[in-house]
Amino acid sequence: MTEPYQMAREFHKIFAPEPPEKPTAFSIERGSFRAGFKAEEIVEFLYGAAQGDEQTFHELVGKLHESIDQAQKKVLAKAEVVEDPLIAEVDALTDLLYFTYGSFALIGVDPQPIFEIVHRANLGKLFPDGKPRYHPVTNKVLKPEDWQKNYAPEPLIKKELDRQKGKADSF
């Protein structure tokens, strides 16, 4: 089994830009792109939490906006000098990982097999010429036309969750 970090590194070696050989802070632009990717996934998470109910979803997104505003005020109130942006970024990313793994623990799901499913789906985003394509505004990796049919992870995630639920039922 490959660790999630190694799988993500493999993805980024294929779907440039390549990760640096030594730790390097993000530029302001790349940091913004990376935060945007995370925000999109958080909004997707909220849609799932709302169980597809549009009104509840809108309310949850509104609460997320409030949380972002509160977090912004909290960070600015600290008024800490950022001597090394790499330290600040790594600290925040590690906290995100901790919260994410904690969320998996709180719903009783082992994320490792699911991460592997998503990794295979992400590697399926190469186009027939063996090259990736990117959205011109968001810079997100685009999916080839056959991706949904051949690589969509949701059916495999469902199967893995059913396996984990069955495993839990057998105790």
Least Cα distance to 29 among 171, 118, 160, 139 occurs for: 139
Kindly indicate the confidence band of residue 171, based on its pLDDT and cuts at 50, 70 and 90: low
Q: What is the pLDDT of residue 140?
A: 82
Q: Kindly tell me if the per-residue pLDDT of 87 is higher than 80.
A: yes
Span 92-101, pLDDT tens digits: 999 999 999 9
b/e map of 18-41 (b: 16 or more CB within 10 Å)? eeeeeeebeeeeeeeeeeeeeeee
pTM over 0.75: yes
31-34 contact pairs (CB < 8 A, 24+):
31/89, 33/138, 33/139
